Amino acid sequence: MRAGICTPVCRKVTFRPGVSWLRKLGVGGVVIWPNVFFGREAGDISNWLFRHELEHCYQIIRAGGPFRFYIKYFYYSVRYGYKKNPYELEAHDRQGNQLTHHEETLLWKLNEG
């Protein structure tokens, strides 16, 4: 399913590296739809971090849009805590997955700055 939704999702998303407030908080990345912000500079974004944040983008689409996703994300975070939030667990499980060709191309372009 991931490969099938990658292209439409990636067309909607803007990737923004080098966000200083994330770096100060020690956060690698965050999705504020339709933007993916990274605390690391272009060139320092790893495959696993890129894949983790991209998985949240896929989750947004599968949830039926950003509003539904963020309501569920907040609910899960309150009920289970951040580390046991089902969305985070899924993203952690999938962050080691091999990137599709399209995802690799996006990461390469992002890291080239």
| Residues whose CB is less than 8 angstroms from the CB of residue 94 and which lie 6 or more positions away in sequence, other chains included | 2, 51, 52, 55
Q: Which two tokens stand for residue 75?
A: 């609910």
pTM of the model as a whole: 0.90
| Half-sphere exposure at residue 78, Cβ-oriented, CA atoms within 13 angstroms | 6
Reported as a single tens digit per residue, the pLDDT across 52-97 is: 999 999 999 999 999 999 999 999 999 999 999 999 999 999 999 9
Q: In this model, does residue 1 exceed pLDDT 50?
A: no
Map out the domains of the chain as residue ranges: 2-112
Rounded-to-integer distance, Cα 113 and Cα 108, Å:
9
Question: Beta strand 35-38 with 14-16: parallel, antiparallel or unpaired?
Answer: parallel
pLDDT per position as a tens digit, 35-46: 999 999 999 999
